[in-house]
Amino acid sequence: MRRVRGFTLIEVLVALAIVAIGMAAVLGALNSSANSVSYLRDKTFAQWVGLNQIATLRVSGQMTPTGNSDGNTDFAGRTWHWRREVVATQVPGVVRIDVKVRPADIKADEDNGWFTTVSGIQGDAVGVPNGYLPDWGSQKLPGFPSGQARGQPGTPGALPGGIGTPGGIGTPGGVESPGVTGSGGIGVQGDLGNPAAPNTPPPPPSDQPPSPDSEQ
């Protein structure tokens, strides 16, 4: 009988080591991906917190004094710590607001650990209107006289196919137009108001002989 040889203990251990190294690499990649998603989520929430702080200052109706301040706020089921820096600009009545945000459970100094920084401006200067009102004029289609709209009733020269085009109602070739063929209108030759319609039967022949005056 033929003898079949199996794996040795060393070969099994080497195979298990290769599988363990591969699984460790896969788990590390998954963990890094999960941490990246969590960080991006927290950074997005931090940006929203900063934007809310700037929007609250703008709608308050009062100018924000220059200087630094900080505080905590609750958002998305979590507490966030923010620091606000207000500085004056070169434009009178306009200040710049920088808001830094991070989770409140992260302990760091005033220069590190911030997830995001949102900037905005606030001012009390209002521009005086100069009273200029542009004259927009009347809308006009190219190639047509001014003041004629598309499909305006009874307007000669409007766009083809609209009411009031040549052959339409009230235009040449319309109702009661003698002997004129309109362009797609109601009054074609032989229609209403045409005294010489082609469907009129000819007069019956007369039995009387023609008079001598008519032969001359």
pLDDT digits (tens, 9 = 90+) for 141-158: 666 665 554 444 444 444
Tokens representing 88 are 């004056």
Q: What is the pTM of this model?
A: 0.49
Rank 90-99, 127-136, 177-186, 192-201 by mean pLDDT and report only the highest.
Answer: 90-99
Whether residue 50 contacts residue 116, with contact meaning beta carbons closer than 8 Å, is answered with: yes
Percent of the residues in the chain that have a pLDDT greater than 90, as a whole number:
35
* pLDDT(177) > 50: no
pLDDT at 97: 95
Strand order in the sheet with 78-88: 67-75, 78-88, 94-103, 116-123
pLDDT at 145: 61
pLDDT at 200: 53
pLDDT at 134: 73
Q: Which CATH superfamily is domain 42-123 in?
A: GSPII I/J protein-like (3.30.1300.30)
Helix %, strand %, coil % of the chain (to 5) = 25, 20, 55
pLDDT at 46: 94
